[in-house]
Amino acid sequence: MRGMGSACNALAAEAARGHLPPVETIDQVEWRVSDGLVPYEEAHAFMEQRAAAIRAGEAAECVWLLEHPPLFTAGTSADPAELFNPSGFPVYDAGRGGRYTYHGPGQRVGYVMLDLEKRGRDVRRLVHSLEGWIIASLADLGVSAHRAEGRIGIWVGEGGEEAKIAALGIRIKRWVTLHGFSINVSPDLSHFGGIVPCGISEFGVTSLQALGKEMPMMRVDDSLKRSFPLFLKDLSQ
């Protein structure tokens, strides 16, 4: 019961700060959607606590949608030469795979905590399914997006106009997933100039807003929710 107490204490602390909204359930997975900007340290601590509780059978799987204040996260393959940071944003060691990633207002971040013990211990399937989920959600928003051979993330456009609109970064701890994805809705794209995003310098970064798709964050969330059951089905095949 010690793990349960720690998880509950973490939830209580987050709720007291106003960063954990009421729970919605989709296919037995808890969904939380936060208003305002959630400090990265608090989100990271919650993920760690929830992953441990999921592994112990003391908590349900969880998807948490939120926004962060401007910051950079460093994955396990991050190269310091790819961090410029002229604005002096905080930099956090995320512990996930990948390189440097930007998070900030106007970007929908989705943290995904799922139990791969019951959904299949297939990391490639997980990544492929996450990509498919984002692509399907963007299609619902009227944006045609795709995977790119040899490049992580989700892309729009062709040739010299191709640009990244969403990033992925996953960590798996005792077969429970942590971290997840980010979709550029209406962030300040100049902030991406503080890094080489995901180590890819040949292509730019874009957003729904830059593509002429002005919409509230709630609209993006609704598309993610509608596509979620198909993501779970694909993940479990």
- Enzyme catalytic residues: 198
- Tell me how far apart the alpha carbons of residues 97 and 95 are, in angstroms, rounded to a whole number: 7
- Tell me how far apart the alpha carbons of residues 107 and 75 are, in angstroms, rounded to a whole number: 18
Give, as one character, the DSSP assignment of residue 215. Answer: -
- Tell me how far apart the alpha carbons of residues 213 and 67 are, in angstroms, rounded to a whole number: 19
Give, as one character, the DSSP assignment of residue 162. Answer: -
CB 94 within 8 Å of CB 179 = yes
Give, as one character, the DSSP assignment of residue 95. Answer: -
**154 phi/psi in degrees, rounded to 5:** -120, 135
- Please give the distance of CA 111 from its chain centroid, rounded to a whole number: 5
Reading the block at residue 89, the tokens are 């944003």
Q: Which of 169, 164, 162, 168 is nearest to 184 (CA)?
A: 164
- Tell me how far apart the alpha carbons of residues 142 and 151 are, in angstroms, rounded to a whole number: 23
Q: Which of 140, 136, 159, 137 is nearest to 148 (CA)?
A: 159
- Tell me how far apart the alpha carbons of residues 120 and 176 are, in angstroms, rounded to a whole number: 11
